[in-house]
Structures are given as C-alpha cells and as structure tokens.
Amino acid sequence: MTAAISLVKLDSTSFGRDLDITKLYGIKDSQIWTTVPASASSSAGYRLGKISNDGPEWGPNIFVIVVAEVSSKSTGSKSQVIARNQSFFALY
C-alpha cells in the first residue's frame, strides 16, 4: 500500500515551514499500520502533503481510518488529525 495524505487549510493561507506530518497510522479493524512518511508530495503553501510506501496489502475497495501526527518544528508539540472512512482501492 502507498499512502498519500494532504492537509489543506480551508482559508488558503500558508502553513509556513513550521509544521510537518511526522507519522501516519492506517487502521483497519484491529490492524494498525504505522509509518514515518519519507517523502513530500508536491504541495502549495496552503497544502501540507506526504507520501509513505511499503504498507500492508489491504483491500481493495475497503474503508480505513487514517490518523496523521502533525509536529511543530519550533516547539516540538504534536497533534493528531483523524479522518474516518477513507477509501482504499487498488490501482493497476
């Protein structure tokens, strides 16, 4: 599985350089995939994006819970953002 995540500011203002997505969790039933995103997706200033590879072989056509850990580089504080019912489908 490859996971691509984007956090988007609804007011289209910039995230700046202080925030980073530092960990992703994919949850399917009692299975949890934890990953540290290795690469950034192309992002506009109002969009914070990351990509992780080498995930589990779940699906296709299922729904999972995704939790993103967002960290502040300046303060070290961490917050989590949860998105339920995220579609997971196979790409060929």
| pLDDT attached to residue 41 | 66
| pLDDT attached to residue 91 | 55
Angstrom distance (rounded) from CA 41 to CA 7: 11
Looking up residue 81, the CATH number of its domain turns out to be 2.60.40
CB atoms within 10 A of CB 37: 21
| pLDDT attached to residue 55 | 84
CB 5 within 8 A of CB 50: yes
pTM listed for this prediction: 0.84
Give the total number of structural domains in the chain: 1
| pLDDT attached to residue 81 | 96
Over the stretch 29-82, which tens digit does the pLDDT of each residue have? 999 999 999 877 666 788 889 988 888 888 788 899 999 999 999 999 999 999
Residue-number span of the structural domain to which 40 is assigned: 3-88
